[in-house]
Structure 1
Amino acid sequence: MTGDLTLTLTVLGSATPYPSVDNPCSGYLMSHGTTRLWMDAGTGTLAELQRHTRLDELDGIWISHLHADHCADLLTAYYGALYADIELKEPIPLFAPPGTADRLAGFLTNGPARSPVESAFAVEELHDGHRTRLGDLSLTSRAVSHEMPAFALRVETPGASLTYSGDTSPCANLTALAANCDVLLCEADGPAPTPAHHTPEQAGETATAAGAAALLLTHVGRSLTPTEAITRAATRYQGPISYAAPGGVFPIGRTR
């Protein structure tokens, strides 16, 4: 990892609801200078993360919600952090929905003693309006609509901003969080509206309402191709639209 001062999104995976042979589930690496944030840890993303950085080089992990396609690799990250070739100087900051530590411990504990989840992760529970600073990155989280506790995230550095929807149906909190951002990374899950997800058209509508400078579609459902999703989103949004292909690297803040 270089000391490049461009805010950069690297797509570790964008598949749903399970990984394909060439695409892990939802996971992204946000980087700026020497600051590194693992944003969602879906199935298969830990392997891809290691192409770019090690667990002990992360400044933090942020999790949108506790569906497996967004958090399952926290389990393998736990073993990597504590029981392999990594020696943490301190637990990795983990920003995640309420109850995350107990959920992890419930899965990982196999005897009378609770697994030492807190030795691997310093868990800070998200709430609507949660703000923190992680190295060069300013992080703001808002609660969104996914029929379970779920959050969207705005990542900012001076002169650049990205908003990540997580999984959500269209909602006012997401639109407000994404206001005038350089890139809206928005899920486009299905062909028809649901209470839990955006369609491609709704992703376009959210980007338009927020005044986002560019739209990056992710979490495209298996009933759609990325090209179909882009075509459909373009009926509601006139700015540039791309697909978050696995392995894609997107500099943020150069679209205006």
Structure 2
Amino acid sequence: MDNPCSGYLVSGGGARVWVDAGTGTLTQLQRHVGLGELDAIWISHLHADHCADLLTAYYGALYADVELAAPITLFGPPGIADRLAHFLTNGPVRSPVESAFDVRELRDGHEARVGGLALTSRAVAHGMPAFAVRFESGGGSLVYSGDTAPCDALTELAEGCDVLLCEADLAEPPVPGGEQVHHTPEDAGDTARASGVGRLIVTHVGPALTPGQAVDRASARFGGPVEHAAPGAAFPVVRAGS
């Protein structure tokens, strides 16, 4: 009931960024910040469990009691504006997506600044255009995997970061020859260890696992602190032990 799809609020450097907008996350977001107070939205990929609440956000931004000084900056995979317009348009005239969102398409190595936050995005392995992102501000660093199989791009992006927020969707690796598009908990631990991160937070845990199982299995591969991103949880982005 109170467990929405993927969505996170990253705050730092005087900026607030909504990271992924899965179903149910807008309601949770507004417990902390209103749409009109966001500095940007960042979307990892266009599966509905990571972006569906953009449709509701569009109506909220344009027609609810929200005052926007300008359209909300929206970082997302190539084609995100047309994808939104396809869902929103109900007649011959294309819905004015750009009235609500200032769309910036991601690419591998994309860099941007949002207030005092520096964002670097890398293309990752999810069988479709998908991205991970690194946030840096004031010496702190957070990397979010999005949805992806283990890949060099994520390991490189996460190198030395304070906190890795990494998906752990798979209970077991795919059968030999099958395509892998997610991490197992063990994979999340391996990525954290290979990257030399300070702390691992597992998220997007699949239905075949409990959060506790995912944490225990990731901990078997990574010697640093491991936690689970429970709904509503807040985590400081600082090096473990500092």
Q: CA separation in 1, counterparts of 2:105 and 2:146?
A: 16
- CA apart distance, 1:33: 4.9
AA in 1 matched with 2:117: L
The C-alpha deviation readout for 1:115-137, integer Å capped at 9, x for no partner, is 00000000000000000000010
Moved more, 33-42 or 207-216: 33-42
Distance 1:107 1:254 in 2: 42
Task: Say yes or no: does 1:227 pair with 2:207.
Answer: no
Match of 2:103 in 1: 123
Moved over 6 A (4+): none
Identity over aligned residues, as a percent?
67
SS of residue paired to 1:145: coil
When the two chains are superposed, the root-mean-square deviation of aligned CA atoms in Å is 0.8
With normalisation by structure 2, the TM-score equals 0.96
8 Å CA contact retained: 2:168, 2:202: yes
Structure 2: gaps spanning 5 or more residues:
175-179
Q: Secondary structure at the match of 2:122?
A: strand
- Residue of structure 2 equivalent to 1:191: 171
- How many angstroms apart in 1 are the aligned matches of 2:121 and 2:14? 22
**Amino acid across the alignment from 1:109:** T
Q: Whole-Å Cα distance in 1 between the matches of residues 232 and 132 of structure 2?
A: 22
Give the partner amino acid of 1:102: D
- Is the contact made by 2:199 and 2:239 (CA closer than 8 Å) also made in structure 1? no
1:124 aligned partner, one-letter code:
R
**Aligned pair partner of 1:209 in 188, 191, 194:** 194
Q: Shift in Å at residue 255 of structure 1?
A: 1.5
1:67 to 33, 39, 47: 47
Residue number in structure 1 paired with 2:76: 96
In structure 2, give the amino acid aligned to 1:225. Answer: T
Q: Distance in 2 between matches of 1:151 and 1:80?
A: 26
Residue 254 of structure 1 deviates from its aligned partner by 4.1
| Aligned-partner Cα distance in 2 for 1:160–1:88 | 29
Give the total of aligned pairs.
236
- The aligned runs of 1:138-177 (5 Å cut-off) are 138-177=118-157
Does the residue aligned with 2:56 lie in a helix, a strand or coil? helix
The corresponding residue for 1:236 is 221
Partners of 2:162 and 2:84 lie apart in 1 by 34
Structure 2 residue identity aligned to 1:228: Q
The offset of 1:237, in angstroms, is 0.6
Out of 132, 136, 141, the residue aligned to residue 112 of structure 2 is 132
User: Counterpart amino acid of 1:240?
Assistant: P
Distance in 2 of aligned mates of 1:63 and 1:137: 16
1:54 aligns with 2:26: no
CA distance in 2, matches of 1:44, 1:126: 24
SS in structure 2 of the partner of residue 179 of structure 1: coil
Provide Cα deviations, 1:185-236, integer angstroms capped at 9, x if missing partner.
Answer: 0000011124100000000000000001100000000000000001111111
| CA distance in structure 1 between the partners assigned to 2:53 and 2:65 by the alignment | 17
CA distance in 2 between counterparts of 1:32 and 1:166 reads 19
Whether the 8 Å contact between 2:35 and 2:57 is mirrored in structure 1 is: yes
Secondary structure of the residue that 2:216 maps to in structure 1? helix
TM-score normalised by the chain length of structure 1: 0.91
Aligned to 2:17: 37
CA distance in 1, matches of 2:106, 2:173: 27
